Structure 1
Amino acid sequence: MYILITYDINVTSVKGQSRLRKVAKVCVNYGQRVQNSVFECKLTEAELLKVKKQLLDIIDVEVDSLRFYRLGDEYDKKVQHVGAKRTYKFDDALII
């Protein structure tokens, strides 16, 4: 399934800046960054539970927030992109 993970981390402290870096590192392992705090991911239900646990172990729920959007299987028909930073479709061949 396709999931959009977004986060808002309070970076007014050194600890907050550290949490922000840790959250981004976890998200990079599961999908592609499409904006600064937004990741598109193709995950199984088990992977979704795993990434949620990892992120919840990092954030401070008193000042930070996470959002998980289930986009469904035909997400590319629901998302319109305008501007810089092109992304790739998960099911397309990736040539490096």
Structure 2
Amino acid sequence: MYVILVYDIGEKRVGKMLKFCRKYLNWIQNSVFEGEITEVKLKEMLIGAKKIMNEETDSIIIFKSREERWLDKEIIGIERMRTDNFL
């Protein structure tokens, strides 16, 4: 499946969450990730993310799609992290 993950994490934990999420998805902008991921890997990632975050003050939002082609993505301005240059 293809996912877009957005998080709002406290300042003390944001660096750790960034490093953690980069193991699973492509970092495209501050606190925003996207990429193909299996259901199992997504569950694994969320278990790890919950250990980093404070569920009373932080949040993660995940948008899911069967495939990237079902999304219409428009970028205005500079693209921070291109995802089409991977081999």
| Corresponding residue number in structure 2 for 1:87 | 82
How far apart are the structure 2 equivalents of 1:26 and 1:82? 27
Given the alignment of the two structures, is residue 21 of structure 1 paired with residue 23 of structure 2, yes or no?
A: no
Identical amino acids, percent of aligned pairs: 29
Which structure 1 residue ranges, 4+ long, deviate > 4 Å from structure 2?
A: none
How far apart are the structure 1 equivalents of 2:74 and 2:55? 31
Please tell me whether Structure 1 or Structure 2 has the larger radius of gyration of its CA atoms. 1
Using the size of structure 2 for normalisation, the TM-score is: 0.85
| Corresponding residue number in structure 2 for 1:9 | 9
* 1:30 CA drift (Å): 1.0
Would the aligned equivalents of 1:2 and 1:75 in 2 still touch at CA under 8 Å? Answer: no
| Corresponding residue number in structure 1 for 2:54 | 60
Gaps of 5+ in 1: 12-16
| Corresponding residue number in structure 1 for 2:41 | 47
* 1:77 CA drift (Å): 4.1
Question: What amino acid maps onto 1:94 in structure 2?
Answer: F
In structure 2, the CA distance between the partners of 1:10 and 1:74, relative to structure 1 (3 Å rule), is closer
Query: Between Structure 1 and Structure 2, how many residues are aligned?
Result: 86
